[in-house]
Amino acid sequence: MKWAWNKNNTYALAEELGIPCPQTWNVSCVDELAFLDSKLPLAIKPAVKENFFYATGAKAWRANTPQQLRQLFADAVRQASVEEVMVQEIIPGDGQQQFSFCAFFKDGKAHSTLMARRLRQYPREFGRAATYVESVDIPELEELSERFLQAINFYGLVEIEFKRDPRDGQYKLLDVNARTWGFHGLGQAAGIDFPLILFADQLGMDLESRRAEPGIGWMRALTDIPVAAADMMRGCLNPSAYLESIRNTRAESVFCMKDPLPSLAEAILLPFLLLMKHSKR
């Protein structure tokens, strides 16, 4: 688990395995940041999610100037140990360049797989949560992911996040999430019931291996509507593309006609949840 939980370990192993990653630096104090000024903008992010994320509500912070870099680094080490604070290059592009390899992995190979693209997320650059995701088929993601998972002898459900770097076309590893992921319901819509597969394996039952159908959408409508509206106002999304994503949607994060109460509760609680997130900033 240490290879997935701590990104310092993740990136070190990925480098040994020849898996592309963003350039990442670890420094012990603010005074050591000067050599990075020429590489701005940069991201300040945690190697271990828990302390930083629960204190700030953010996955990463963007530093555009040397002053911001020093201030944000100092703020970060107040939330987590200096060994857990990383400075990382920012790969250009938003969630549309971000991809996931999702699988049930066992005995050195993927039993069933789903690959997906985050077409919309919030926040737009360092997405804390996906709002619209669509299944894709990119063999390169599978090869890179299986190389990493084989090296750590992984067992279970996993999501590995990559971002495609438009400067060189490489898919660069961001995170290894050794757990279920927010849009796992996309699997059922695309032909793979991941919870059932794991459950069956625990009981020693054999289930047929599957590969997800591409072009299937998953949406969290309550958050996707404002995200899509903001993207259209910025000129990043046109109405026809938005309507196409609605037509492709086969799974909704919370809403279900047979049990509408959870989605009603989510709508009622939304102002409180937004207030809590803003209070952490």
**Residue range 23-89, CATH number:** 3.30.1490.20
Which whole number is the average pLDDT over 224-238? 93
Q: How confident is the model at residue 97 (pLDDT cuts 50, 70, 90)?
A: very high
More reliable by pLDDT, 64 or 125: 64
Q: How confident is the model at residue 279 (pLDDT cuts 50, 70, 90)?
A: low
pLDDT cut 90: percent of the chain above it:
83
More reliable by pLDDT, 153 or 53: 153
Query: 97-234 is classed in which CATH architecture?
Result: 2-Layer Sandwich (3.30)
CA-nearest of 115, 102, 96, 119 to 248 is 119
| pLDDT higher than threshold 70 for residue 281 | no
Map tokens 């109460």 to a residue. 261
pLDDT of residue 278: 57
Q: Residues 162, 174: contact at Cβ < 8 Å? A: yes
Average pLDDT value over all residues in the chain: 94
Domain spans of the chain? 23-89, 97-234
pLDDT of residue 124: 83
| pLDDT higher than threshold 90 for residue 187 | yes
131-156 per-position pLDDT tens digit: 999 999 999 999 999 999 999 999 99
